[in-house]
A and B are shown apart, each in its own frame.
Chain A
Amino acid sequence: MSGVPSREVARRVFAAEYNDGSHTFKESDDERAPLYYLLPTGERANRVFLVGTLTETEDVGEDSEYWRGRIVDPTGTFFAYAGQYQPEAAAALRDLSSPAYVAVVGKPRTYETDDGTVNVSVRPESISEVSAGARDRWVAETAERTLDRIEAYDDEANEYGRMARERYDLEIDQYREAVVAALESLEQGDELGGQETEPPA
């Protein structure tokens, strides 16, 4: 398997965690080495996969089209930006009408504002409309993956857990709470669905 660069896996992370980080790094001096974003729960992410509700799209470009999409999950909001170098994703944001469930494959990008805070966004490789069922599956899956990271956070051998402890001053339990809230929101969704079908009293 050596020689062929393997494709980077797409991490699953809730917006609440995703937006809390700031640190990016490379693992070699090679100019083309992959850029990683350090997740607060201690994992490197070169790519992410997320599914949520597209609530708003806006062309925020000045000279050329530059589309911003707000994508909401049960814990917060992802921001996706696509311009002329992501023509397919930009076209998707232009054409989709919100609200809609969308799946986004993309790369984490960080941007430091004038006041020194770091904003984390997604540069999409693809955006596509999906079903509510796919959204629910993503929430359950992202919950699992987040718990995996939380459980491995303090492991001796977990170098990204150690990096996160060094780089970030964040309370990890808040992400476990976010997982609980996200999963509870699925259950409530089910209950609401059930009530709708009940006959009026």
Chain B
Amino acid sequence: MSDVRTHAEEISAQFSDHLDVSVDEIESELRTLVDDYSVPLEEARRSVTSSYLDDAGMDRDELAPGGSESTVVGEIDTDEQWVDLEVQVADLWEPGHDSISQVGLLGDESGTIKFVAFDTSELPELAEGGSYALGNVVTDEYEGDYSVKLNRTTTIEELDREVEVGDDGVAVEGALVDLQSGSGLIKRCPDEECTRVLQNGRCSEHGQVDGSFDLRLKAVLDDGDRVQEVIFDEAATASLTGIDLAEAKQMAQDALDTTVVEEEIAARVTGRYYRVYGPEFRRYVLVDEFEELDGAASAEETLIRARSI
């Protein structure tokens, strides 16, 4: 394919939503400039693009640079990229500023990403729960977090299928080698906004309070190469250990000591292998699902490997 043809196709893609011009037409205009008038190709492209911008009544900065790329939200890791997405509107939030028409979360199977649409773009509104093909959205980065901005050139097409939204979860495998302090039966600050774990009946924010009991585990999974801290909440802890909050409270009451709960749980889970799955939060993985692993599933492959070294 000639360079001229490539440029013609790119220009065509940039204007496809705004003008009805064929690649052949664009190519022929480029060729006239390049072949007949000896204009360098880059300059010819600029000139042709300008005339189409005029025809479409668009500004140059509304133009997608070289067309946009189809991707999934979990793959977005560069600032100012033009991308096409197929997403479900996972959440809509209250816009914090008059210039913003919509703000919320878009999701696909790879996870979710924040989006912003501006009043000046005059786009149709997205409905919460609706699935859309979005063309020409721009990626944005702020302190390592990525979002996408809808703009005047963004195309919105409602899909007749529902896009599934993944939950950004990660899977971690390893031996449970330690329960950290603050595991087992704990007390939290009763303030609904706070819920900090109490130390000796004190909340670091609200001082001496009458705490409410909770059950959780801060565990360390270790696969021999790296360690990962994971948190089992009350439900996950109960399902892992067979001890629920009511039973944990009874155990503590009988022993007049809350630490018996952690000791009993440690005896049941330490040294066993688990695979856990859930979202990452700071340095932890919050366990949504887990399974105990046992048996030497890969032993045969490893044996082949050992014999071939």
Contacts and interface: CB of A to CB of B under 8 A. Distances in A.
Interface stretch (B80-88, B131-139, B144-152, B220-228): B220-228
B129 to A, nearest CB: 38
Contacts of B273: 134, 137-138
A23 interface: no
Given A7-B227, A126-B271, A136 B295 contact: yes
Contact of B306 (A6, A88, A130, A180): A180
Interface in B215-270: 220, 222-227, 263, 266-267, 270
Nearest 4 A-B pairs (CB), nearest first? A103-B271, A133-B294, A140-B296, A136-B296
A141 to B, nearest CB: 6
Interface of B: 175, 177-178, 220, 222-227, 263, 266-267, 270-273, 293-300, 302-303, 305-307, 309
Contacts of A102: 271
A163 B129 CA distance: 59
Contacts of A141: 223-224
B224 A105 contact: no
B270 A10 contact: no
A183 interface: yes
Interface in A158-182: 176, 179-180
Given A134-B294, A145-B224, A176-B306, A10 B177 contact: yes
17 contacts: A6-B227, A9-B227, A10-B227, A49-B224, A102-B271, A103-B272, A105-B177, A126-B270, A127-B271, A130-B272, A137-B293, A140-B299, A143-B306, A145-B225, A147-B305, A176-B306, A183-B302
- The bracket for how many chain A residues form the interface is 35 or more
Nearest to A189: B296
Contact of A147 (B177, B226, B300, B306): B306
Interface of A: 6-7, 9-12, 47, 49, 51, 88, 102-105, 125-134, 136-145, 147, 150-151, 176, 179-180, 183-184, 186-187
Contact of A105 (B178, B223, B298): B178
Q: Which applies to chain B's interface (DSSP): helix, strand, loop or mixed? A: mixed
Nearest to B175: A49
A105 B219 CA distance: 14
Nearest to A103: B271
A137 B294 contact: yes
B224 A10 contact: yes
Contacts of B306: 143, 147, 176, 179-180, 183
Contact of B178 (A126, A132, A136, A140): A126
B299 to A, nearest CB: 4
Contact of A9 (B225, B263, B309): B225
B224 A9 contact: yes
A147 B303 CA distance: 10
B267 A128 contact: yes
A186 B299 contact: yes
A103 B223 CA distance: 14
A104 B295 contact: no
A179 B309 CA distance: 11
Contact of A140 (B227, B272, B302): B302
B265 to A, nearest CB: 11
Instruction: Specify which of B272, B295, B299 lies most central, judged by the most chain A CB atoms within 10 Å of its CB.
Output: B299
B299 A183 contact: yes
Contacts of A184: 303
A51 B176 CA distance: 12
B175 A128 contact: no
A125 B179 CA distance: 11
Given A137-B273, A179-B306, A186 B298 contact: no
Given A7-B220, A137-B293, 8 more contacts: A141-B223, A143-B306, A144-B302, A151-B309, A176-B309, A183-B296, A183-B303, A186-B299
Contacts of B178: 7, 105, 125-126
Given A10-B224, A103-B271, A143-B306, A126 B266 contact: yes
A142 B224 CA distance: 8
B185 to A, nearest CB: 18
A41 B226 CA distance: 18
